[in-house]
Amino acid sequence: MKKTLALVLSLVLLLTAATAMAATEIDYWSVFTGGDGAVMQGMVDAFNASQDEVHVNHTPMTADDLYQKVPLTVQTGSGIPDVCVVHIERIPNFVNQELLYSYDLDLVAEAGIKQENYNQSAWVKSTIDDEQYGIPLDVHGYVTYINKDLFDKYDLNEFVADGYITFDEIRAIGDKARAAGWEGGIFNLGWMRAQMLCYYAQLAEGHKLTDDGIAPSLDKEAMKKAMETMKALHDDGYTTKKTDDALSMFYGGEMLVWSEGIWMKAAVVDAGVNFEMYPAVCYSPETCKNWMSSHNFVQFADEERTEEEDLAVAKFVNFMGENSLTWAKDAAQVPAHVSINEVAEFADMPQAFLADPERGDELAIYYYLHWGLFDTAFSRVGWDFIDGTIAIDDAIAQVEKEIADSIAAQ
Amino acid sequence: MTRSRIAAFLALAFIVLFCFAGVTATTTVKDTTVAIEMGLPKLLFSLSSAAILLIPIALVAAGAAFIAFIQGEKNVGMLFSFIATAAFGLFMVLFSMEEKNSCLYTPISDALKAAEVKFKKRDVDLISPSFNLLSWLALVCVGASCVIGHGDFSKDRRHILKRDLLPYAYIGPHLFFFVIFFVTPAIYGIYAAFTKWDLFTEPVFTGLENFKILLFDAENTYYKQLRNGLWNTVKFVLMCVPFCIIVPLSLALALNARPKGNKIFQALYYLPSLMSISTVTLTWRYVFNVQYGVVNHFLGVDANFFMPPYTWIMLVIVTVWWCTGSTMVIYQSALASVPQDQYEAASVDGAGTIQKFFNVTLPNMTYPLMYTLVTAVVAQFNIFGQPDILVGFSNGEANAVLLQYVYENSVKKQVAGMSSAMAVILGLCIMVVSFIQMRMMVKNQQD
């Protein structure tokens, strides 16, 4: 009897101890599904292995899925993730819909998170009414890759000597390469919205999409010129056609200049392409700007979440910031944690120019309450203005009208 | 007045009282207490609490109880009254147990703002609801109708009770899920069509505003979307439905001749019906690929099937390939039941194969043909996956169908009220077309 009692008591003690030592479980949803998804999972695993107080469960999904699912979890009050990565442009609308909690800056400071440790342009964009809603993981944008072997072969390096590629230089590159017998692609039109916003930012003062923060008020002349530039390149035969597979062409050495996100760098390396990375194609080096975004850690509203879980989230987020070299190296992003600038290895990476404080003016992060509506409306006219299905003036008017009508109907 | 009539009156009283009943909610934030009142009908349409799903069940059951009592079916009436009482009672309990009821949060938040209290959502810890007298009276009425209207439970009459209620035991589970997953969302969807709603906050009733915009505001984006989407949907139905009948009918006729390996062919033809729309469309995406697709390879052309004028052809091929199997088995079954002696008589009269088909086979297949025509039309009016995955909104929205707009507007753009109004208009179109077809079917049967 005594033995049984002792056994039971021991078991109870063991269970109690095990419960006391159990790690705080954190549900983390992210928008990383491709190569960057595997890198992020590796970083989460590294965090889990680095300590035993917090265990993070990572659920990756496409951005569209996440933006549909998370608000619904908040609506139903069940299955709300403890922390999410969202694009910075989405934060104002989430705040407006009361879907996000702001960070308790005293609490997160306990975990080491402080404003001065982060890229300021990204940090302040998620500060709304003096409340901090996002902690930036990175900044990322649409850049220009060149095939270095082809540039050497056709003697095209003079066009990138100053570190920029202008639209005139795209034509010159094409003409010179073709004269030397090149029959492949010269430049691509890919993600139309991202490319157009790069060029729009170079032309529109403050790259504004709105005057009052709510109603759309696009700089029509700037947008028209940006779209006309793209269409002219296409019509003159310097870009891919709608049906071309630009990615396969660049990987296969069939494309000279490729406009893509910095997040594709790892894939380009895997494809064995000898490449160099430059800012977005520009009208002139002096006015060059890149459309940028930023992945931010946010916390959706959850009544059940405890302060202990909030602190666990902060520890995880801080770890991600302090160990973001992996994010830069393997996912080719530009970490928002300033510690990255002290890492010599990062300075040698192709995307490092995007973290150069002296070139901060070249980064254009868009910030608009109804960003989602702009995104959907512009995606509609994507290739249509290029192939002439819709006139450029009509396309711009359609985008603006659709946003205005949607706001009125919400 | 008989007991049945009193019970019927009480069941009806429940519905009437529900329309005027309400709930009072209070909360205290930063030493400020605010209270709001909300009618139960408005609560029913606040679309944000699971407990509210019990209300439609209670109302439907009370309505059924009323009809049953009026017809003298006391046992059935008692059953429905009991369901109504249980559902409404459970709703009141569950609703009161929610600490921060999301239905009540919006008006509470408005009241706090009106009281100039600066707060965040997390500051609102507890919203205490209390049902008013009419709510309790409604519960009492429906409970009383159950007690007053009960039938005869004497031992020798129990078999009558069993006889009356057994059918409902059989259909009960289906009815439950039908009300929860079809009737309730349909009612909410129709209601949402009369509101401005961003999916996350309280819908604002706007009457016929959405329909006015959709039908008459020619400059509005949504007017253009409705016209384009509906017209494209109708075009697709007209192009696709004939093939959805002819192709499976031809295959069924061929298989009915029992060629060698007909079972294998039958299985192969049926196979696509088992696949999801994503699998089907992604497969055909590769088949029609401009550079690497087998279609262009075998035809020796470089046609872009994802651009006009080929897009509709591609969408019809994909849809027919996907839908053929299930329609084909219906035709096979119908063909098997055509009396052989009619074919023999036709042969004796010297009829050829084509004459036999038109004079014997088709007249014997009128009902399955009309049935599949109705179902094909309804199914193709609801086309979504094929154009959405294969062409999206490209080509100047030349192939965008109405459900694509409905989905994008509600889920991606959160313009849910307008989107619901579009869906209601599509639903009405389907109802009108189906009604005409059903009339034709009945007339055909009578002839």
pLDDT digits (tens, 9 = 90+) for A247-274: 999 999 999 999 999 888 888 988 999 9
Specify the pLDDT at position A3. 64
> Is B200 in Cβ contact with A99 (below 8 Å)?
yes
Specify the pLDDT at position B153. 62
Instruction: Report which secondary-structure segment, H or E, holds B407.
Output: helix B402-407
pLDDT band at A385, cuts 50/70/90? Answer: very high
What is the nearest CA distance from B146 to chain A, expressed in angstroms? 34
Q: Does A71 touch chain B (CB under 8 A)?
A: yes
Q: Does A77 touch chain B (CB under 8 A)?
A: yes
Q: Which two tokens stand for residue A276?
A: 């160099």
Q: B302 to chain A: nearest residue by CA?
A: A243
State how far the alpha carbon of A257 is from the alpha carbons of A151, A185, A254, A289, B193, in Å.
Answer: 9, 8, 10, 18, 49
Q: Residue B151: name the closest of B78, B201, B87, B234 by CA.
A: B78
Which residue in A77, A245, A389 is closest to B395 by CB distance? A389
Q: Could you read off the pLDDT of A6-18 as tens digits, one per residue?
A: 666 566 555 555 5
The larger pLDDT score, comparing residue A321 to residue B150, is at: A321
Chain A from 253 to 312: CB within 8 A of any B CB: 301, 303
Q: B209 to chain A: nearest residue by CA?
A: A409
pLDDT band at A348, cuts 50/70/90? Answer: confident
Q: A378 to chain B: nearest residue by CA?
A: B393
Other residues' Cβ atoms within 10 Å of the Cβ of residue A302: 20
What is the nearest CA distance from A118 to chain B, expressed in angstroms? 26
The larger pLDDT score, comparing residue A348 to residue B240, is at: B240
**Mean pLDDT score of chain B, rounded to an integer?**
89
**Does residue A257 form part of some domain?**
yes
Number of structural domains (chain A) is: 2
**Total beta-carbon pairs less than 8 A apart between chain A and chain B:** 74
Specify the pLDDT at position A83. 96
Find the mean pLDDT for residues B394-403.
Answer: 92
Specify the pLDDT at position B2. 81
Instruction: Report which secondary-structure segment, H or E, holds B204.
Output: strand B204-205
Which DSSP symbol is given to A293?
E
State how far the alpha carbon of A410 is from the alpha carbons of A341, B66, B122, B205, in Å.
Answer: 43, 39, 25, 12
> Is B50 in Cβ contact with A406 (below 8 Å)?
no
Q: Verify that A275 and A385 share a domain, yes or no.
A: yes
Pick the residue of A72, A98, A99 with the most B CBs within 10 A to test the interface with B by mutation.
Answer: A98
Residues of A whose CB is below 8 A from B307: 242
Specify the pLDDT at position A284. 95
**Does residue A349 form part of some domain?**
no
**Does residue A338 form part of some domain?**
no
Rounded to whole angstroms, the Cα distance separating A364 from A121 reads 10
Q: Which residues pair with A128 in a beta bridge?
A: A131
> Is B413 in Cβ contact with A389 (below 8 Å)?
no
Other residues' Cβ atoms within 10 Å of the Cβ of residue A152: 11
**Does residue A381 form part of some domain?**
yes
Percent of chain A past pLDDT 70, that is, above it, reads 95
Find the mean pLDDT for residues B429-446.
Answer: 84
Specify the pLDDT at position B48. 65
What are the structural domain ranges in chain B? Answer: 3-192, 213-446
Q: Does A132 touch chain B (CB under 8 A)?
A: no
Q: Verify that A13 and A109 share a domain, yes or no.
A: yes
pLDDT higher than 60, residue B337: yes
Rounded to whole angstroms, the Cα distance separating A279 from A257 reads 12
Specify the pLDDT at position B47. 61
Specify the pLDDT at position A138. 92
Residues of B whose CB is below 8 A from A410: 196-198, 414-415
What is the nearest CA distance from A93 to chain B, expressed in angstroms? 11
> Which domain, by its residues, includes A57?
2-137+294-322
Rounded to whole angstroms, the Cα distance separating B39 from A220 reads 48
Q: Does B395 touch chain A (CB under 8 A)?
A: yes
Only one residue has tokens 């979440």, namely A305
Q: Verify that A284 and A304 share a domain, yes or no.
A: no
Specify the pLDDT at position B152. 65
Percent of chain A past pLDDT 90, that is, above it, reads 60
pLDDT higher than 60, residue A19: no
Contact (Cβ atoms closer than 8 angstroms) between residue B87 and residue B47: no
Only one residue has tokens 């400059």, namely B219
Chain B from 200 to 219: CB within 8 A of any A CB: 200-201, 210, 213, 219
Q: Verify that A227 and A373 share a domain, yes or no.
A: yes
Q: B392 to chain A: nearest residue by CA?
A: A380
The larger pLDDT score, comparing residue B264 to residue B53, is at: B264
Specify the pLDDT at position B154. 64
pLDDT band at B203, cuts 50/70/90? Answer: confident
pLDDT higher than 50, residue A74: yes
Q: Could you read off the pLDDT of A279-306 as tens digits, one per residue?
A: 999 999 999 999 989 999 999 998 788 8
Contact (Cβ atoms closer than 8 angstroms) between residue A147 and residue A249: no
Residues of B whose CB is below 8 A from A401: 219, 221
The larger pLDDT score, comparing residue B109 to residue B422, is at: B422
Residues of B whose CB is below 8 A from A102: 120
Lowest mean pLDDT among A215-224, B157-166, B343-352, B403-412: B157-166
Q: Is the dihedral of CA B28, B29, B35, B39 positive or negative?
A: negative
Which residue in B100, B394, B418 is closest to A383 by CB distance? B394
Given 2.60.40.10, 3.30.465.10, 1.10.3430.10, 1.10.3720.10, which CATH number is that of B213-446?
1.10.3720.10
**Does residue A210 form part of some domain?**
yes
Phi (first) and psi of residue A11, to 5 degrees:
-60, -45
> Is A372 in Cβ contact with B120 (below 8 Å)?
no
Only one residue has tokens 């019927």, namely B8
Which residue in B100, B200, B413 is closest to A303 by CB distance? B100
Specify the pLDDT at position B304. 85
Specify the pLDDT at position A148. 97
Q: B203 to chain A: nearest residue by CA?
A: A410
Q: Verify that A130 and A145 share a domain, yes or no.
A: no
pLDDT higher than 80, residue B190: yes
Q: Verify that A145 and A131 share a domain, yes or no.
A: no
**Does residue A285 form part of some domain?**
yes
What single-letter amino acid sits at B342? Q
> Is B102 in Cβ contact with A303 (below 8 Å)?
no
Rounded to whole angstroms, the Cα distance separating A374 from A370 reads 6
Specify the pLDDT at position A20. 47
> Is A379 in Cβ contact with B395 (below 8 Å)?
no
**Does residue A358 form part of some domain?**
no
pLDDT higher than 90, residue B163: no
Q: Verify that A164 and A109 share a domain, yes or no.
A: no
**Does residue A348 form part of some domain?**
no
What is the nearest CA distance from A405 to chain B, expressed in angstroms? 6
Q: Verify that A9 and A123 share a domain, yes or no.
A: yes
Q: Verify that A208 and A313 share a domain, yes or no.
A: no
Contacts of B309 (CB under 8 A, 6+ apart): none
Q: Verify that A374 and A227 share a domain, yes or no.
A: yes
Q: Verify that A64 and A197 share a domain, yes or no.
A: no
Only one residue has tokens 């205005």, namely A404
Which residue in A64, A101, A373 is closest to B413 by CB distance? A373
What is the nearest CA distance from B227 to chain A, expressed in angstroms? 15
pLDDT higher than 60, residue A1: no
Q: Is the dihedral of CA A397, A400, A403, A406 positive or negative?
A: negative
> Is A390 in Cβ contact with B408 (below 8 Å)?
no
3-state class of A4 per DSSP?
A: helix
Q: Verify that A205 and A109 share a domain, yes or no.
A: no
Residues of B whose CB is below 8 A from A301: 121-122
> Is A98 in Cβ contact with B397 (below 8 Å)?
no
> Is B50 in Cβ contact with A99 (below 8 Å)?
no
Specify the pLDDT at position A296. 96
Q: Does A104 touch chain B (CB under 8 A)?
A: no
Q: Any idea what the CATH number is for the domain that residue A186 is in?
A: 3.40.190.10
Give B53-109 as a DSSP string: GHHHHHHHHHHHHHHHHHTT-HHHHHHHHHHHHHHHHHHHHHHHH-TT-HHHHHHHH
